Amino acid sequence: MERDASAFWIRSPGKGEIRAVSLPEPGPGEVLVRTVFSGVSRGTESIVFRGGVPPNQHAIMRAPFQDGTFPGPVKYGYLNVGVVEHGPSELLGRTVFCLYPHQTRYVVPASAVSPVPDGVPPERAVLAGTVETAVNALWDAAPLVGDRIAVVGAGMVGCSVAGVLAGFPGCDVQLVDTDPARAEVARALGVRFASPDEAEGGCDLVVHASATESGLARSLELLAPEGEVMELSWYGDRRVGVPLGEFFHSRRLTVRASQVGAVPPARRSRRTFADRLGLALRLLASPAYDVLITGESGFGDLPQVMPRLANGELPALCHRITY
């Protein structure tokens, strides 16, 4: 069994490096996975890379198999697709998804991996963690047939939400962003595109994922009376203002948070985390989601690539890492 591996670590805010890892021998009920692809979730991982996780969120923001602590040194990430090289017979040789950081090989409990369905290419399966976030948000929001819905912020999470909503019967979905290039992404996903100024109001539901104060304000403006903003943005250590004057009270508007760390109460007694991730993987059978992969680099280049992703020099939705 190959015991040597390499992992990407954030040595200190803004600085990354590749470190050697010696793997333990897999025990009963564990699997050894060889990574074939991982994905950089640019929004959250950029905040982590810059050292922007607030101290009171250090425990909450831990990734499932994170090593080290914020702000660093820390090994962080959660979009990993690999092949099982050692483990139970039903998993041996299978392509699996795992919420694991950027590392060439790793050992985890067999229960921590999810088989990738035959109809989903491994290259696309790196999106499973983000599509899972979208599924959870829509379990929280519970849109209805025929709703008018805006998704404000065409980043990786917002686009994933729009992709899932594109399949809702009768819904009019608009993806709203300041970048006109995102219009091509919207078309590929099967939804309308609008700039913030051109977006149509009167929405029953607005999903906000721009992580900007102006995006949140515009989300409230787009709501019909008694409408709801489902807030998916994570702002790290930044404070934002919420316009609670103007029409907020007279229209009886709502701002509600959704966070993937918990299954929404309406599903909690009937759905597990594994059920939710399995659904996300099945949704990825649609090739429309390929539009969310906007770049690719080799694993060895991550120390140079992450600073460019974090400062915006390298624009990306999901940046795929090859091994």
Tokens of 71: 């702000």
Q: Which residues contact 9 (CB under 8 A, 6 or more apart)?
A: 16, 17, 18, 19, 67, 68, 72, 73, 74, 75
Paired sense of beta strands 74-75 and 318-322, if any: unpaired
Residue 257 has pLDDT above 90, yes or no: yes
Task: Give the pLDDT of residue 3.
Answer: 86
**Is residue 104 a contact partner of residue 35, using CB atoms and an 8 Å limit?**
yes
What are the CA-CA distances from residue 233 to residues 85, 157, 158 (Å)? 37, 9, 9
Look at residue 42 in the predicted model and tell me its pLDDT: 87
Say what percent of the chain tops pLDDT 70: 100
- The Cα 1–Cα 10 span in angstroms is 28
pLDDT for 126 equals 98
Give this prediction's pTM.
0.93
Position 235 confidence tier, pLDDT thresholds 50, 70, 90: confident
Q: For the chain, which domains are there?
A: 4-127+284-322 (3.90.180.10), 130-265 (3.40.50.720)
Q: Of 253, 240, 233, 36, give the one whose Cα is nearest residue 133.
A: 233
- pLDDT for 118 equals 95
> Confidence band (pLDDT; 50, 70, 90) for 177?
very high
Res 153: pLDDT: 98
Residue 1, pLDDT above cutoff 80: no
CA distances from 60 to 45, 48, 64, 69, 276 (A): 15, 13, 10, 12, 20
Q: What is the pLDDT of residues 284-296, one digit of tens each?
A: 999 999 999 999 9
